[in-house]
Chains A and B, each alone.
Chain A
């Protein structure tokens, strides 16, 4: 592989006795939109702040174009950032905020004016140029922050949960706006979020963080279709985990026994176990409610019509709630109602097998 644009090499960060980042290595090519996804405290934000230069790693290396960024102060890193909180300068107008990074770089006046106009057009806020931040909505403020971060054509744009303070509708509007701006500018983006849907919607690649380390790197589809761990499977998309026992292993295809004693054949073992206790993960959309005699038995405790899908919760004989989502066109006859006895059917090949640690 040729030299990566941005490379993190075995980054570690210890705060007193607590390890925030535990050996993160990552390569990001120029122009990619990468999302750091993970629960709070997983090290994703800390890693971002290491790139920004606000946190000095305890060990490891950050390379941009092959040159170390460590020891370079944030104001010389040529990195743009949009923060979780609104960080526009309250005493400056929208246009002055966008001009700020160019003014401190002592660019010529004409160039600054042209760039401010260009940025205002980019974020569709030309009409707001003379307003103060306090007169803007939260979504508009974050768009100005985005314009300010891009005004000086930074090498990398960092975004630290920039939409988490906005409501859902506005968040989706801004997601498509961010996607469009990424496409128009071609800037390399590192985007931190704990919202898997946001990560799936925006990213070229997702870096899934857990406990200060990287759990899995891949496209959204990789993570959803081929989760590398039970954590990845549980974090991306909805999932049901069922404790099972692998009874027999035939060329990596297993016979397993479910908690209610029923058995299944043809579960891919993915080389993860020979025999013994394990878990299978099933996506809600891979399960169907059947009236046939086989499958796991249970009864419906909740049924909700969600427009394109029907969502059921089924309580199994061993007391576990299983989520089932049935696409609208798959409805056969009247859908099952609360209290109905049903059986859960699925193709064994759709089950993911994990061995709990």
Chain B
């Protein structure tokens, strides 16, 4: 009897007609030709030229890549790049999650006000914002002066020209991307899900780690990926707020091209950056794409 009903359940589930597949537009290729041609000429060809240079200058071989990974200065730059990108991503997630939570649960007025502030900061000119941080982070800047005035510190903190300054400046720029990525998934959460978890015996911590975080994982992954990838190749903020010891990959490429005229090494560094970015993107598509769960 039990089996009969279970089988009936299977049939019922299978009998439900699949939702009609959206009709694909046909002949979509022709209108896309100008755009594709533009990308081919201005993106794909230069990338290939860059790859070629990295393999041929000054001679054929992988010596540029070997130099990039083996020379301690360059390896250091790679490490710095990953460290800054990782820190910026992590801190943005830690700050962005409560902020996005506030946007989801706060009364409409406050939610819209705070969201407006977040968006406004995104729309403000990047250079203006970075210069503002230069002023704030100086040894005699507002932050250090204030901390000394309150007596918390005696000597100014090394904020400007250090990795700390770069991370602060970049978190400020990247935070909105995390908030935007989490806003949708948070708004879609059903409060009764947490009531159910609670009645099931879950403590607040268990409900947070076993229900809340897994449900937000796609949003966190999407926001994290955007921020990590953007941070890997970031140039303006690190070059204005960072110091010589904390050089990042984009700065190195600029220096190699503009000062050292070493196109082969610059090409290798650029190509490395591109490969890193694409592999991270592939990971995100494989594991966190929102479509995956639905197709199951």
Contact = CB atoms under 8 A, between A and B. Distances in A.
Interface of A: 52-54, 73-81, 83, 85, 87, 89-91, 100-101, 103-105, 121, 124-128, 131-132, 134-137, 140, 145, 148-149, 152
B120 interface: no
B195 A126 contact: no
A314 B196 CA distance: 49
Interface in B207-248: 210-211, 214-215, 217
B192 interface: yes
Nearest to B294: A134
Contacts of A148: 196, 200
A76 B198 CA distance: 9
Contacts of A105: 201
B25 interface: no
A135 B293 CA distance: 10
17 contacts: A74-B195, A75-B201, A76-B201, A78-B201, A81-B196, A87-B192, A87-B193, A89-B193, A91-B217, A100-B197, A104-B200, A104-B210, A124-B6, A126-B2, A127-B7, A135-B13, A148-B196
B195 A54 contact: yes
Given A74-B198, A124-B9, 10 more contacts: A75-B202, A83-B195, A87-B195, A89-B196, A100-B197, A125-B9, A132-B293, A140-B9, A145-B196, A148-B200
A131 B206 CA distance: 23
Nearest to B202: A104
A75 B206 CA distance: 11
Given A83-B196, A89-B193, A132-B296, A152 B13 contact: no
A78 B201 CA distance: 7
Contacts of A89: 193, 196-197, 211, 215
Nearest to B12: A137
Contacts of A52: 195, 199
B203 interface: yes
A74 B214 contact: no
Interface of B: 2, 5-7, 9-10, 12-13, 16, 190, 192-193, 195-203, 206, 210-211, 214-215, 217, 293-294, 296
Given A89-B193, A124-B5, A137 B16 contact: yes
A74 B214 CA distance: 22
A121 B24 CA distance: 43
A104 B209 CA distance: 11
Contacts of A87: 190, 192-193, 195-196
Contacts of B5: 124
A83 B13 CA distance: 22
Q: Which of B9, B13, B203, B293 has the most CB of A within 10 A?
A: B9
Contacts of B294: 134
B210 A100 contact: yes
B3 to A, nearest CB: 8
Contacts of A135: 13, 296
A157 to B, nearest CB: 10
Nearest to A77: B199
B9 A127 contact: yes
Contacts of B215: 89-91
Contacts of B201: 75-76, 78, 101, 104-105, 152
Contacts of A127: 6-7, 9-10
Most A CB within 10 A of own CB, among B12, B201, B202, B215: B201
A126 B6 contact: yes
A20 B250 CA distance: 63
B199 A75 contact: yes
Contact of A91 (B2, B195, B214): B214
Contacts of A104: 200-203, 206, 210
Contacts of A77: 199
8 closest Cβ pairs, A-B complex: A101-B200, A87-B196, A124-B5, A74-B198, A104-B202, A91-B214, A81-B199, A75-B198
A118 B45 CA distance: 63
A350 B215 CA distance: 59
A79 B197 contact: no
A73 B210 contact: no
B181 to A, nearest CB: 17
Nearest to A84: B192
Among A53, A74, A125, A145: residue with most chain B CB under 10 A: A74
Nearest to A93: B296
B16 A134 contact: no
A3 B265 CA distance: 85
A56 B30 CA distance: 65
A52 B12 CA distance: 34
A136 B214 CA distance: 20
Q: Which of A52, A79, A100 has the most CB of B within 10 A?
A: A100
Contacts of A128: 9-10, 13
A83 B200 CA distance: 12
Contacts of A125: 6, 9
Given A74-B198, A81-B199, A101-B201, A137 B210 contact: no
B18 to A, nearest CB: 12
Nearest to A76: B201
Contacts of A80: 199
A77 B201 CA distance: 8
A98 to B, nearest CB: 10
B206 to A, nearest CB: 5
Contacts of A126: 2, 6
B184 to A, nearest CB: 15
A135 B12 CA distance: 12
B221 to A, nearest CB: 13
B104 to A, nearest CB: 17
A342 B10 CA distance: 53
